[in-house]
Structure 1
Amino acid sequence: MDLPEEPTGATTSSAGDHRQARRRICTDGCGRPTNVCLCHVLPSTPLSTAAKIVILHHPHERRHKLATVPILSKCLRNCEIIVGRKLKYGQSKLLDSLYDEACEKPDLPLNRALYLFPGPNAYPLSELNRFKSSLDNISADNNFILIFFDGTWKHAKEMVSASSSFLSKFAVQVCLDFDVGVNGGTIFDSELILRKEPFAGCMSTMEAVARCLRFLEPNGIDIESKIIEVLRAMVSFQACFLKPFKPRTKLTKTDERKNEKNENTDSLY
């Protein structure tokens, strides 16, 4: 027996409801559209850390749907977000206090603040045991500080350069393992990458914070795993909207011409 066709109006209404559901925002939790809500993987309460996190968030990233900083700030209790293109005096009471202290006591060792960015002059974080041990000697009112730059890699490089005169007074540049001679990963070959990375070792701000806290926090492994779980869910949602990769038609035709030319050349010998 043939089934009755669904009324056209019902189909239109169903599609409209679906689009409306996609536009609906989870205002009481993660702040993302309800169809990609991350509330089920967010920590029930923001994670406490001995370190204080400061992130310079490029203005363009505020409009980017794949920005991880808004979600990261919901995972961590001690996380300060500064929107701008450079760090300078007057943006953060925390950083201002470090700057003032460094000016008053120029002989004071730079062992309280680290800013993460790969480069030839950056200390590998895995070798800075003296920073890790210094955590035990810092009082509750004088916590360790980690500084990150959030933006495209081009923007982040510009942000670090513009902020260097301010940071040089009180912070040390560090990095995680990286290799500029190896291509970076993509969402197609990693469950933790949202956007194509320029070289090996590059990662999102969210993953970078998690990796640093693993090394520096007393319970760093647990903190890292909880942040990575949220990032993995975020990447998984994004991967669902990707279309299978197909070679460009123009490139395919070019390859075909090359193959035909090679076949013709081989036939002459």
Structure 2
Amino acid sequence: MALLHMHFKSPTLVMQTNVTVVLPESEQLFTSRTNTKLKTLYLLHGLSNDSSIYTRFTNIERYASNRNVAVVMPSVDHSFYADMKYGHNYFSFVQKELRTFMLNVLPLSDKREDNFVAGHSMGGYGAFKLALTNPELFSAAASLSGAMDINRFLQDGVFNGFNAKSIFGEVDSLKDTEHDLYKLLKDRQSEQAVLPKLLQMCGTEDYLYEDNVNFKNYALSLKTDLDYREGPGDHNWEYWEYAIKEVMDWLPLD
């Protein structure tokens, strides 16, 4: 596998940013004028992490090599994958600009069936937010210990020293907004949109376990095609190392 650390100025963020990419070293990629286009997993970090975290705490390179899939890992600060009220437009960056940039500089497929998104904690929320906002872009999405109830974060106010108001502004509730996974899922179902395959995983000792169960029950009440898995595990890398391997085996990569 090739490990790329890419630094570039983002027009959307109006600043330098960085992305970590794991790229399969297929022999076809080294031939002239190759038409090989790789399937791609956009892998999203949690609240206290950055683009390097999966390469440091999991075996994502080995899993990606075994399945011949590119993995793109952006950095989005504490944004909760939102266009922040007092900050940068990270949702627009990941949703539009990052994908376009990657397609222009790397041999990645632009086909819906070849693009996937996943993440843990804040990134699990972000993965479902991206997939449910733009189901035409991704064929599969996975949330690992995801923050499925965004109002919990808002009500906590200050989370690990970071104020939620910098993201969402002076609001009392995010219910029925573009940030609410419940609303996004209901809207896509009412539109009869073709949803991505959805995988939701959470450890039973995780502090977000109840939120995950509630979202799973809501999704199933809407007859959503959701693969839900739970088992022993906490909100930590021991669980996420196990879970990301499950995600790689679950993705339609064959």
Which TM-score applies when normalising by structure 2?
0.32
Which TM-score applies when normalising by structure 1?
0.30
Over alpha carbons, which structure has the higher Rg? 1
Structure with the largest fraction of helix: 1
Structure with the largest fraction of strand: 2
